[in-house]
A = this chain, B = another copy of it.
Amino acid sequence: MKYYLGLDVGGTNLAAGIVDENCNLLHKESIPAGAGRSVEEITSDMAKVSKSVVKHLGLPMSKISFWGIGMPSYVNPQTGLLVHANCFGWKNLDIYSYLQKHSSLPIYIENDANCAALGEVLAGAGKGYHDVLMLTLGTGLGGGIILNKKIYAGADMMGAELGHTKLCYHGSSCTCGQLGCAEAYCSATALIRQAKEALQGNESSVMYELCGKNPEQLNAKMVVDAYKMGDQVAQNVFLQYVDYLSCAMSSFIVIFRPEIIILGGGVSNVGDTLLLPLKKKVMENTYAADVIGVPEIRLAECGNDAGIIGAAMLEKYGMDRKKNGVS
């Protein structure tokens, strides 16, 4: 049996795990990311938590063939530098040189949304499928593309940024500095913003009670709870959000015609409350849906484990970065 080491790096936690060749996550551990500290400290902790899971299982390092890492950034294959990890304030960082001080394993870094998509295809809602899109409805709108069971991240491996396609020409401001990105309408953050806007002058809405009369405390769950309670303001907001999301999805469908689209992230936790109206809207808003149908739409199943599993399995299912001179 072969074993793979996966590390999912986020702004909040560093989560490591050991995955066997059948994509089973055997053990995982998590420590705070400690954003704000030096590169040396954080990369040292990345190695520490990774080695700790190996030790916990009593495996000798020689049994581990690979260290895959998912990060909220890309490695530029031309330069080998981590392009921009916002949460750590890292820009054009030679992260490989820091990590190699701690391990002689082959290291492979991939965008975390791509890792999550791969994890879901190998061990979750996408099991058995070859062509899958994953959208993560969280702080941002993460996108992952799996083509023929491998991560697809664009010709230079810095693409698949589904959240930064344009949904509303010159529309709302996105955190990326552009206007009208799908992320600015379809993330959990966007849903909350839309609800806050709707609350202005609508203090009779149940949402206003749920957030303790302080709209700054409003979260996505409160919006959906109020919607389920029949609150009219929340209903308008949530169904409008669903319509935005369906239109973003329609663009990805007409390009990729994936077998399945998997939804993860905070908003997806509401399950059928999202899925049922969304499926209807995707049918309505997608070109040629009446003639050739639309893909299945399902909820993610692996939760936070998807990122670890996907990272661990990058050796087999990642894009081939070696041709670009990155170890």
Contact = CB atoms under 8 A, between A and B. Distances in A.
Contacts of A168: 168-169
B162 A292 contact: no
Contact of A256 (B159, B247, B285): B159
Given A169-B168, A248-B166, A254-B161, A83 B292 contact: yes
A114 B170 CA distance: 29
Contacts of A248: 166
Interface residues of A, number: 49
A1 interface: no
Contacts of A174: 287
A167 interface: yes
A321 interface: no
Nearest to A287: B164
Interface of A: 76, 83-84, 130-131, 145, 147, 154-162, 164-171, 174, 176-178, 180-181, 185, 244, 247-248, 250-251, 253-259, 285-288, 291-292
Nearest to A161: B254
Contacts of A256: 154-155, 159
B164 A257 contact: no
Contacts of A154: 131, 255-258
A156 B257 contact: yes
Contacts of A285: 166, 178
A255 B165 contact: yes
Contact of A84 (B169, B181, B244, B291): B291
A176 B288 contact: yes
Nearest to A174: B287
Contact of A247 (B76, B169, B255): B169
Nearest to A288: B176
Contact of A155 (B131, B157, B185, B254): B131
Contact of A287 (B145, B155, B157, B181): B181
Contacts of A258: 154-155
B292 A158 contact: yes
B247 A166 contact: yes
A257 B83 contact: no
B165 A251 contact: yes
Contacts of A253: 159
A315 B166 CA distance: 35
Nearest to A177: B287
Across the A-B interface, the 6 shortest Cβ-Cβ residue pairs: A154-B257, A131-B155, A159-B257, A165-B251, A164-B287, A161-B254
